[in-house]
């Protein structure tokens, strides 16, 4: 019995190419195709597929629709497997996609999905409740983890990272306090802790802020 798949891809040429791959893949049947998040969710409701093959970036915002679709389907249709296709190796996309668990989820690079064997393996994996991740993405995640672990920012708490992020946006202590629901004194404590952890304890305050922001920006790419 064939695995029924709904394809979501906003680029017409890519969608045609993926359609051809799906139709030439034994054991996989194209149940429907669409070009945006709303249509994808509507087709899942109407067609009840076994799996979804979706781009990450689609209308309406062209940001993370594929990841949001996966999260929605995890709640509304937990048996529907999701294979996300991406042109990007960004670690934050991968981590966000797998945040609710890896079962029934696969993350592949578009450049590697035009092999019918790879497509079939990914679809079979998610339908069976398994998972798959492109080896190139695994390598990128390892490098990201090594970079993060070796970064001085790794010692900062979430609150301190939030404060440092706002410093990088040019906010002073009062503005940071207003934006984060902290007192100015509380912000000062966080910032002094940041300076200490980043080894900026002895520099002039203006220079410390500049150096801290530069460290943040360099380590955040």
The domain that holds 83 is classified in CATH as 3.40.50.2300
Q: Tell me how many domains the chain contains.
A: 2
Give the chain's residues under pLDDT 50: none
133, 59: one domain: yes
**Residue after which a domain boundary falls, among 110, 144, 178:** 144
pTM, two decimals, is 0.66
160, 133: one domain: no
CA 40 to chain centre: 19
46, 134: one domain: yes
Contacts of 173 (CB under 8 A, 6+ apart): 184, 187, 188, 191
129, 49: one domain: yes
**Residues spanned by the domain of 211:** 152-219
123, 164: one domain: no
| Cα–Cα distance measured from residue 110 to residue 42, given in angstroms and rounded to the nearest whole number | 24
Kindly calculate the radius of gyration of the chain based on its CA atoms and give it in whole angstroms.
22
pLDDT of residue 221: 52
CB of 102 within 8 A of CB of 58?
no
136, 50: one domain: yes
């Amino acid at each position: 019995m064939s695995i029924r798949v709904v394809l979501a891809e906003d680029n017409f040429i890519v969608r045609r190419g993926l359609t051809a791959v799906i139709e030439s893949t034994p054991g996989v049947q194209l149940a429907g195709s669409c070009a945006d998040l709303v249509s994808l969710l509507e087709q899942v409701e109407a067609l009840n597929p076994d799996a979804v093959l979706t781009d990450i970036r689609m209308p309406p915002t062209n940001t993370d629709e594929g990841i949001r679709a996966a999260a929605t389907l995890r709640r509304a249709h937990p048996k529907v497997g999701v294979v996300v296709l991406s042109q990007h190796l960004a670690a934050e996309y991968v981590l966000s996609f797998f945040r609710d668990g890896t079962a029934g989820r696969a993350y592949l690079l578009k450049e590697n999905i035009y092999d019918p064997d790879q497509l079939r393996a990914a679809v079979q994996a998610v339908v069976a409740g398994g998972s798959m991740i492109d080896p190139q993405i695994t390598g990128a995640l390892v490098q990201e983890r090594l970079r993060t672990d070796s970064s001085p920012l790794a010692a900062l708490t979430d609150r301190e990272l939030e404060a440092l992020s706002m410093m990088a946006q040019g906010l002073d202590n009062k503005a940071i306090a207003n934006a984060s629901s902290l007192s100015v004194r509380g912000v000062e404590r966080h910032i002094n802790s940041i300076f200490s952890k980043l080894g900026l304890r002895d520099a002039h305050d203006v220079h410390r802020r500049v150096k801290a922001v530069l460290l943040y920006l360099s380590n955040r790419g």
